[in-house]
Amino acid sequence: MVKVLKPKRETKKVPVKESALKKESDVLDPRAESLRILSQFYIGETDLDMKSRQMLIAHGKDVPDGIAALELLKDRVVITEDIDLKLKMYQAIVDLLSVLGMKDDLHTIQEIIARVNLKSFEELGFERVEVECAEDACPTCRKMAGKRMNIEEALSSMPLPCKECTTEKETVQGYCRCRYFAVF
């Protein structure tokens, strides 16, 4: 069964005092974030450290934990055949890229996810999709809210992820998390 990837619910940020801004709580710890993301697939600290060592041997220099985690996920995604699990892994890669601030790669993987979703809808016999905006969607994205189009059209023009998105999330500016859902 193909699931429509719903945007994750944001926890509302409680306003903090000026002096408390940009303290540790705001700064993401790439190792902790990597491990949190990897844990969804039962990949643990030992796997991450082993990957880091392999990469150190292969490249002759230390690699950041986030990059090693990214490689681990990429290794897994290519050998995963279950489409739902594959999509979940791609989404995890996107989450990790947002932590690492790698916007271009993030956008590329989001396009892969959008294509897989659109094709799945098509295979299920749907002809049209509707744009569902993320809760934190920017004004540019909001203009597309509820817009319906043929799947063919969506596949050729790829309106999602929105290229002019200005939503800021983690360390990425322009992280569009709007989705398609299938309509009759």
Footprint of Zn ion on this chain (CB under 5 A)?
Answer: 137-138, 141, 162, 165, 167, 176, 178
Q: Specify whether the CB–CB gap between 158 and 114 falls below 8 A.
A: yes
Q: By the 8 A CB rule, do 34 and 96 touch?
A: yes
Q: Which is nearer to Zn ion, 41 or 181 (CB)?
A: 181
* Smallest separation (angstroms) from Zn ion to the CB of 147: 11
List C-alpha distances in Å: 123 to 116, 118, 148, 171, 178.
10, 9, 18, 36, 22
Q: Among residues 47 and 130, whose Cβ is nearest to Zn ion?
A: 130
* Minimum CB–partner distance for residue 142 and Zn ion (Å): 8
The CB-of-53 to Zn ion minimum distance in angstroms stands at 39
Q: Which among 111, 144, 147, 145 is positioned nearest to 129, based on CA atoms?
A: 147
Q: Which is nearer to Zn ion, 90 or 175 (CB)?
A: 175
What element of type H or E holds 111? Answer: helix 103-123
CB of 159 to Zn ion, least distance (A): 9
Cβ distance to Zn ion smaller for residue 43 or 129: 129
In the complex, the smallest distance separating the C-beta of residue 138 from Zn ion, rounded to whole angstroms, is 3
Nearer to Zn ion, 138 or 151 (CB): 138
Residue 177 contacts residue 7 (beta carbons within 8 Å): yes
Q: Which stretches of the chain are assigned E, i.e. beta strand?
A: 128-132, 148-150, 168-169, 172-173, 179-183
